[in-house]
């Protein structure tokens, strides 16, 4: 089987009809983080036919499986597609590059592989808001179902133990305990945590392609599971049923080339499932006539369902890196400044499955509840209730990630210094943005406005996170660790921190909530797009299953939760069509 290529189909090789169609779109993947999971689960029954439509290709060469080399959110590459945000008015009109997956496996092929469930209070917050079946206890079985191939304990990197141990001690001095298992629901929601990676037992990146839709499985199911690559869905085929309810009957699909043949119609007997991500899913809906009525009419699109909230409530974790010079031995900069080390590390990885290429980060991240800070930015937890991870009020609102790299702090002319960055990330932003059409051309980029820092709440939380990180650096220095400031705010005043944040903040590529799960509120962008079973409001035969359905962004990295949503969606689809 090893000599066979991955079984894919072109547009002109597709059947006329399938039971289920999993839809990807343009900059993101139907066969993406969630799509591969859905394809696996829905095709378990050989009597059920499934079509997966992927904008990119398979792209599963050996380099894409090496953890360090496949981190293409940062490095760029053929598995990544880039588009540009609108100018950000709260960040000096800066324009940002936004990234998405562009191959089977989607973002799970290019992200930094962190596997974090999030704390129970996040999901319990969904449940308390009325989302039936979405509490942490409801979600836990779906995490467990998918963890065998996705959640691995990271390898210890002895070459980084100096800064790692110093960071743990510095955190403890500020009231932050060390947490051995970040994904345990039993520890407090604040802590200096050992991270887990989506790396398999052999040391390869464990994307959802390899975990859920590997070549051997695609070959075994190729009679009833078809994967169509290098193809784009232009819109969903909408018809009315006997009760005049809009119903998804299939999709129009064409080659991904800008001047390919006209789209052809592929029908769905049971359901169409959008898994195109928080940018692509609302774009497909709007091109299909489902979205804000005034916006659709602006582009001459016939309105099938006036659903004002489509494309609204876009959220992302925005971050800012405080950067320091550190000993070269403690930094990945040694790969740049001493390139002969690359060959050594590559051989260590290929021969023994160890070394820097196994994982690109330090094994730590620091989660904080800023409401527990005292005047010195130490964490104080006066009651057991403050440590209860099940309570939504205790969800962390800041993450500080020590990263063994700093663009600003590393000079190519230096052979002595490395760089260390502390990436401070807002986990519970209140600012929301939008995804809107920029054209009715289905291959055109949408207009994406993250609207970061629109709310004073977010700016205030970031100030606290920055000041905590400055205290963390002070503790490192007090222990004798040589970390010298390189790119930090000019002072700790609100004005200087705000100026620093406006100039240097960056996306963490954690987009969510543009097709959020909530009740429909006619005429209001604050309503929902899908119900508690992920069905689009007012439309039959159409669901959404990706991070766009999150009622609000989770206070964690989103890959594990996206996979769990897909697992849960597959069960609901089977139940509703049995």
User: Which residue numbers are catalytic?
Assistant: 510, 557
Report the length, in residues, of the chain. 578
Cα separation, 222 vs 573, whole angstroms: 21
Task: Report DSSP letters for 164-231, one per residue.
Answer: HHHHHHHHHHTT--EES-TT-TTS-S-EEEE--B-B-TTS-B--HHHHHS-HHHHHHTTTTEEEE-SE
Can you tell me which residue has the tokens 């091109």? 287
Grouping H, G, I as helix, E, B as strand and the rest as coil, residue 435 is strand
For the chain, report the end-to-end CA distance as a whole number of angstroms.
34
Does residue 38 contact residue 31 with C-beta atoms inside 8 Å? Answer: no
| Neighbouring C-beta atoms of residue 66, cutoff 10 Å | 18
Instruction: Indicate the helix (H) or strand (E) that contains 279.
Output: helix 277-287
If you write DSSP's letter for every residue of 526-578 in order, what string do you get?
Answer: TS-SB-TT-BBTT-BSEEE-SGGG-SS--SS-SHHHHHHHHHHHHHHHHHHT-
CA atoms within 13 A on the CB side of 372: 26
Beta bridge pairs of residue 114: 197
Beta bridge partners of 226: 51
SS3 117: coil
DSSP one-letter string for 313-331: SBB--EEEEEEEEEEGGGS
Q: How distant, in Å, are the alpha carbons of 35, 60, 133, 194, 297 from that of 152? A: 22, 21, 27, 11, 49
Residues 541, 288: Cα–Cα separation, whole Å? 14
Q: Is 233 within any annotated ligand binding site?
A: yes
What region, left, alpha or beta, does residue 332 occupy, with left being phi > 0 and alpha being psi -120 to 50 degrees? alpha
Bridge partners, 30 (sequence order)? none
**Residues with Cβ within 8 Å of residue 77, at least 6 apart in sequence:** 110
Locate 263 and state its tokens: 């789209």
- Label residue 330 exposed, middle or buried (CB < 10 Å: 0-12, 13-18, 19+): buried
Burial bucket for residue 94 (CB in 10 Å: 0-12, 13-18, 19+): middle
Cα separation, 433 vs 548, in Å, equals 13
Q: What is the DSSP letter of 107?
A: G
Show binding-site residues for FAD: 233
């Amino acid at each position: 089987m090893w000599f066979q290529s991955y079984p894919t189909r072109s547009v002109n090789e597709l059947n006329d009809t399938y039971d289920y169609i999993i839809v990807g779109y343009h900059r993101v993947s139907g066969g993406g983080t969630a799509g591969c999971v859905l394809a696996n689960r829905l095709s378990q029954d050989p009597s059920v036919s499934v079509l997966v439509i992927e904008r990119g290709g398979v792209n599963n060469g050996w380099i894409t499986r090496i953890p360090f080399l496949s981190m293409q959110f940062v490095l760029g590459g053929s598995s990544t597609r880039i588009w540009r945000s609108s100018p950000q008015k709260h960040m000096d009109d800066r324009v940002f590059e936004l990234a998405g997956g562009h191959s089977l496996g989607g973002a799970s092929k290019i992200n930094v592989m962190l596997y974090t469930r999030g704390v129970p209070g996040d999901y319990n917050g969904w449940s308390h808001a009325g989302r039936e079946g979405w509490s942490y206890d409801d979600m836990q079985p779906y995490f467990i179902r998918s963890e065998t191939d996705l959640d691995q304990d990271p390898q210890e990197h002895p070459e980084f133990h100096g800064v790692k141990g110093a960071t743990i001690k510095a955190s403890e001095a500020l009231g932050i305990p060390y947490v051995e298992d970040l994904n345990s629901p039993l520890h407090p929601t604040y802590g200096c945590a050992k991270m887990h990676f989506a790396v398999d037992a052999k040391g390869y990146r464990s994307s959802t392609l390899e975990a859920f839709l590997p070549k051997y499985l695609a070959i075994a199911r190729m009679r009833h599971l078809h994967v169509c690559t290098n193809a784009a869905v232009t819109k969903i085929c909408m018809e009315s049923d006997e009760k005049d309810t809009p119903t998804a009957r299939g999709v129009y699909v064409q080659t991904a080339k800008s001047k390919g043949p006209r789209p052809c119609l592929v029908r769905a007997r049971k359901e169409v499932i959008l898994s195109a991500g928080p940018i692509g899913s609302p774009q497909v809906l709007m091109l299909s006539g489902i979205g804000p009525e005034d916006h659709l009419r602006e582009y001459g699109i016939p309105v099938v369902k006036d659903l004002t909230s489509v494309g609204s409530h876009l959220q992302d974790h925005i971050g800012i890196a405080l950067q320091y010079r550190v000993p070269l031995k403690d930094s990945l900069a040694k790969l740049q400044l001493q390139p002969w080390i690359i060959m050594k590390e590559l051989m260590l990885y290929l021969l023994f499955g160890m070394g820097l290429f196994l994982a690109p980060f330090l094994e730590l991240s620091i989660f904080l509840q800023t409401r527990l800070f005292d005047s010195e930015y130490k964490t104080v937890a006066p009651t057991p209730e403050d440590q209860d991870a099940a309570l939504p009020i205790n969800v962390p609102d800041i993450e500080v990630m020590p990263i063994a790299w700093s663009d600003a702090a590393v000079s190519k002319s230096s052979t002595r210094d490395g760089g260390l960055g502390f990436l401070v990330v807002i986990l519970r932003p209140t600012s929301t943005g939008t995804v809107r059409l920029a054209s009715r051309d289905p291959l055109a980029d949408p207009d994406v406005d993250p609207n970061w820092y629109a709310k004073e709440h977010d700016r205030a939380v970031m100030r606290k996170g920055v000041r905590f990180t400055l205290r963390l650096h002070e503790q490192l220095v007090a222990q004798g660790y040589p970390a010298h400031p390189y790119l930090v705010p000019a002072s700790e005043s609100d004005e200087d921190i705000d100026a620093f944040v406006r100039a240097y903040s960056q996306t963490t590529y954690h987009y969510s909530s543009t097709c959020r799960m909530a009740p429909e509120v006619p005429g209001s962008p604050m309503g929902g797009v899908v119900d508690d079973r992920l069905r689009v409001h007012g439309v039959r035969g159409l669901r959404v299953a990706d991070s766009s359905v999150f009622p609000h962004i989770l206070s964690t990295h989103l890959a594990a939760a996206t996979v769990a949503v897909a697992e849960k969606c597959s069960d609901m689809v089977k139940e509703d069509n049995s």
